Each structure stands twice: as structure tokens, then as C-alpha cells.
């Protein structure tokens, strides 16, 4: 029976040889230090808190190791990770040490700057806000934008409590209406302008934009002015009315409009009274010329 110390003697000898080779390789390399700028990441942020304000996303470290090992460090192999599990509302200070840096084997972190990080935390808040589509451009000449709607019409958002108090709406990607002459329906992404606020369920909205012919403007002349009560003399006896409405109603006549003055309760005498116009349905009055007439009550 072989002596126990000689068991697996081949493997032991191989290990010694490999260790010797590694030592020879490393001993031939100079131990150096190098300054690097590496990413700073955060972990374990409590679900009920929001990180607000500017925070550093890079830190400077000084590392030590063999020149060969340092020359082989690839981007992303050195990362500083700050644990936020103890965060509370308000301004907090967290220490950063070499142990917070994930480094490859054989590389030692000897210094990190800044050595502490100041951050502000706020309680999370949720809110339901309307979705307001954003439009880009102008429709064809002679056409105007009518109703604009989004489906869904509201969305739930989450973020820092102070930012949520200021938020009034969610927006969409711009929908182009340049040179449009008919209704547009388009699905676009939703979001909010404040980068500290996010959608609870990110998604898109179906936006419908009604575009139709612009209302026309025209003038109706020779509309007779009448008094509601009493015997009166009106000067001038007719007025011109400038109106706005659908283009198909431009053929309306003076007889389709009613121009009146209110003389109720007036004694005999001369007065300057405003003219009231009652237009046809779907027609709006822009102005009256003259807006006031001379009225003599007998």
C-alpha cells in the first residue's frame, strides 16, 4: 500500500509547476497604479422612495495591479455600486469605499473619489393625468383643426411627490398634420416632459385629429333695422353685417338676418342705440357696420 503522502503525486507536481510558471510570469511584470474613471450604479433603492436632483454617474478610482493585468481591463469590468437600502426621505450622505467597486481578480482599488455622495430622496406618488396629443405643422390652406382626442384619454404616472404636484398632463409624440386636408388617425408613444416622472404602464395612444374646411367670412349688406316696440325713426335704416360660417352658407340673404334695436321704456326723444343681430343657424357675427344707429322716438 503506497504511503498516503504520495497519493495523487502527479497532480500535486503539476500544480507546483503551474504555480511556479504563474509566479514567474507575474514576477516579471511591474506592479503599477493607474487612475480610471468608472460608472457609478445604484442598487436596492426602496420602492416607496424616489431619487431626485442631479447625482453623479461617474467616479474616479486609483487601482493597483500588474501592468499586464491593468492593460487587459476592459470597459465595464470596473463598476462602483452604491447600496441604497438604508435610504430615507430627505438629503442623505453615503460613503464610497474600495469595497464598493467590482474589480477583476488581481486588481486592488486603493482610492475612490468622491469618497461620499450626497443624494436627495422623496416619497413616491401616483396620479392620473389627461393625455394631450402634440401636433406638428399646419393643415392645408383653407382647412382648420377641429377636435383632437386620444385613446386612452388618461394615463397613470408615478414619480417624486413634489414633481407630481406640478404635473398637469401627459403628452404624445408629435403627430404631423402638415398639408393635411382630412381626418388623421395615428398611434404614437406617450410620455411626460419631466424626466423624473414615468408612466406606470408605458404604451401608445391612438390619436384622432379632425381636420375640415375653415369657416368662411363674408358680408351681408342692406339688412333692415327694426325696433321691437313703438313708433320710431332709425338712421341709417339698414346695416352691413360681417359674418363667419360654413362655406355652403355664403349664399344666405339679407332677409335671413334680423337686426333690431331695443326701445322699450324710452320716452320721446333722440337716442344712439346698439344694433342686435340674429343670424341664421351655424353663422356667427363678426361685426356690424354701423354698430350704433340714431333713433328718434315719437
Q: Which domains does the chain have, with CATH numbers?
A: 30-114 (2.170.120.30), 124-213 (2.170.120.40), 216-297 (2.170.120.30)
Coil, helix or strand at residue 243 = strand
Alpha carbon distance 158, 174 (integer Å): 23
pLDDT in tens, the chain (298 residues): 455 555 567 677 777 767 665 654 555 568 888 899 999 999 999 989 999 988 889 999 999 988 878 878 877 889 999 999 989 999 999 999 989 999 888 888 999 999 999 999 999 999 999 999 999 999 988 888 999 999 999 999 999 999 999 999 999 999 999 999 999 999 999 999 999 999 999 999 999 999 988 888 999 999 999 998 778 999 999 999 999 988 888 888 999 999 999 998 888 899 999 999 999 998 999 999 999 999 999 8
Looking at residue 12, what DSSP letter applies? H
Report the pLDDT value the prediction gives residue 77, as an integer from 0 to 100: 85
20 phi and psi, to 5 degrees? Answer: -65, -40
Report the pLDDT value the prediction gives residue 71, as an integer from 0 to 100: 79
Report the pLDDT value the prediction gives residue 55, as an integer from 0 to 100: 85
Q: What is the largest CA-CA distance in the chain?
A: 147
Amino acid at each position: 500500500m503506497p504511503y498516503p503522502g504520495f497519493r495523487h503525486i502527479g497532480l500535486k507536481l503539476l500544480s507546483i509547476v503551474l504555480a511556479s510558471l504563474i509566479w514567474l510570469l507575474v514576477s516579471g511584470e511591474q506592479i503599477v497604479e493607474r487612475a480610471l474613471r468608472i460608472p457609478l450604479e445604484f442598487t436596492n433603492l426602496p420602492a416607496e422612495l424616489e431619487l431626485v436632483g442631479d447625482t453623479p454617474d461617474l467616479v474616479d478610482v486609483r487601482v493597483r495591479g500588474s501592468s499586464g493585468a491593468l492593460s487587459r481591463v476592459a470597459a465595464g469590468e470596473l463598476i462602483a455600486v452604491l447600496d441604497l437600502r438604508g435610504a430615507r426621505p430627505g438629503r442623505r450622505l453615503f460613503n464610497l469605499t474600495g469595497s464598493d467597486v467590482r474589480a477583476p481578480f488581481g486588481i486592488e482599488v486603493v482610492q475612490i473619489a468622491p469618497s461620499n455622495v450626497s443624494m436627495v430622496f422623496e416619497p413616491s406618488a401616483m396620479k392620473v393625468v389627461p393625455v394631450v396629443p402634440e401636433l406638428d405643422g399646419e393643415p392645408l390652406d383653407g382647412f382648420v383643426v377641429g377636435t383632437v382626442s386620444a385613446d386612452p384619454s388618461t394615463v397613470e404616472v408615478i414619480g417624486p411627490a413634489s414633481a407630481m404636484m406640478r404635473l398637469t398632463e401627459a403628452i404624445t409624440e408629435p403627430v404631423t398634420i402638415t398639408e393635411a386636408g382630412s381626418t388623421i388617425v395615428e398611434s404614437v408613444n406617450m410620455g411626460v416632459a419631466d424626466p423624473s416622472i414615468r408612466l406606470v404602464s408605458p404604451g401608445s395612444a391612438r390619436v384622432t385629429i379632425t381636420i375640415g374646411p375653415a369657416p368662411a367670412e363674408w358680408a351681408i349688406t342692406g339688412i333692415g333695422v327694426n325696433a321691437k316696440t313703438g313708433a320710431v325713426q332709425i338712421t341709417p335704416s339698414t346695416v352691413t353685417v360681417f359674418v363667419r360660417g360654413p362655406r355652403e352658407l355664403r349664399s344666405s340673404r339679407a332677409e335671413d338676418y334680423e337686426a333690431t334695436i331695443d326701445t322699450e321704456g324710452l320716452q320721446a326723444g333722440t337716442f344712439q342705440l346698439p344694433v342686435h343681430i340674429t343670424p341664421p343657424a351655424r353663422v356667427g357675427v363678426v361685426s356690424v357696420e354701423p354698430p350704433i344707429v340714431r333713433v328718434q322716438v315719437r
